[in-house]
Amino acid sequence: LNGKDYYKILGVDKNASQEEIKKAYRKLAQKYHPDVNPNNKSAEEKFKEVSEAYSVLGDEEKRKQYDNRLRYFGEGAQRDFGYGYRPFDFSDLGSFSDLFDFFTGGRTATRTMAPQKGSDITAEVHLSFEDAVKGASTRISVNREEICRTCTGSGAQPGTHPITCPSCGGRGISAINQGFFALSQVCGRCRGQGVIVEKPCPSCRGTGRVTELKKLTVKIPPGVKDGTKIRLKGRGGAGTRGGPAGDLYLITRVAPHPLFKIRGDDVEIGILERSPK
């Protein structure tokens, strides 16, 4: 393996505990993962290198073999330590979050299958100067995701039901054995949902949600300025699997006034001076 010192690569002492090795690898993998460093070949090579080192040092049995060779053969141990090693293939890893499911026991399944909050929405609301100062209730129109009424959010054609994904058994993740690794990634067949819709709902095309134009009455507090951001909790897009709705964020646009202007927390009036006769 080209004389590489795995301990140096991970930046740990030769007497480091397995937990210390794991922490060191996790820190370096997070630093050099290509999802964090897109189009950076140097970072990708470094990521492969630390993964290769951890594939040996992270396994207690392989580490013992490596240490024994290092003890008896010195620097030559690294060159000879090819027993049972398969070169690391970065393409097998999947996304950045898939990598850290290895450390968290496959939390992707829990995270994917759990109720999820709906999407947030941002909209502009146009106000007169007076409404901005005094506050007002106004009507706005927004495109918002709603639960499909035809399938009540299941995504399946009425009279049918989604089936458990046969590839992942409903877990939403599938395992990858990569040399000494046991990684998990989002199931490609059900895309992490854990279920497959064989007959999609014609109204939402299997998504369980539809986008509708909604007219909402919103209350604007007094004293807003041009560009003020107001959060209306729970008035965004519908959640999935029983999750809460997202939030609606309003950006205020205040029309200018011919005499008054807002400066900080004050309202100023412009006084026209008469030219002397």
Q: How far apart are CA 252 and CA 266, in angstroms?
A: 18
Same domain, 81 and 136: no
Q: How far apart are CA 36 and CA 96, in angstroms?
A: 8
Same domain, 35 and 145: no
Is there a domain that residue 274 lies in?
Answer: no
Same domain, 154 and 65: no
Residue 161, domain CATH: 2.10.230.10
Same domain, 125 and 59: no
Domain edge (last residue) among 69, 88, 107: 88
Closest CA to 52 of 71, 28, 34, 69: 28
Same domain, 153 and 239: yes
Domain that holds residue 146: 121-263
Same domain, 133 and 62: no
The reported pTM is 0.52
Q: How far apart are CA 170 and CA 45, in angstroms?
A: 35
Q: Which two tokens stand for residue 82?
A: 């090819």
Closest CA to 143 of 219, 236, 218: 236
Is there a domain that residue 150 lies in?
Answer: yes
Largest Cα separation within the chain, whole Å, is 107
- Give strand pairing partners of 177: 182
Name the one residue in this structure whose structure tokens are 């850290």.
100
Closest CA to 218 of 129, 126, 120, 130: 126
Same domain, 158 and 259: yes
Is there a domain that residue 39 lies in?
Answer: yes
- Specify whether the CB–CB gap between 236 and 142 falls below 8 A: no
- DSSP letter string, 110-165: HHHHS-BPPPPEEEEEEE-HHHHHH-EEEEEEEEEEEE-TTTTTS-BPTT---EE-
3-state secondary structure of 218: strand
Q: How far apart are CA 151 and CA 160, in angstroms?
A: 9
The total of structural domains in the chain comes to 2
Residue 42, domain CATH: 1.10.287.110
Same domain, 73 and 201: no
150: CB partners within 8 A, 6+ apart: 158, 201, 202, 203, 204
Residue by residue, pLDDT tens for the chain (277 residues) are 345 789 999 999 999 999 999 999 989 988 888 777 888 888 888 988 888 888 889 888 888 888 877 765 554 444 444 433 333 444 344 445 545 544 444 444 444 457 789 999 999 999 999 999 999 999 999 999 999 999 999 899 999 999 988 888 888 887 665 555 556 677 888 888 888 999 999 999 888 889 999 999 999 999 899 999 999 999 999 998 788 999 999 999 999 888 877 776 667 776 555 555 5
Count CA atoms closer than 13 A to 276's CA, side-chain side. 0
Q: How far apart are CA 24 and CA 46, in angstroms?
A: 14
Looking at residue 116, what is its pLDDT? 84
Same domain, 173 and 236: yes
User: What is the sign, positive or negative, of the torsion defined by CA atoms of 6, 7, 12, 16?
Assistant: positive
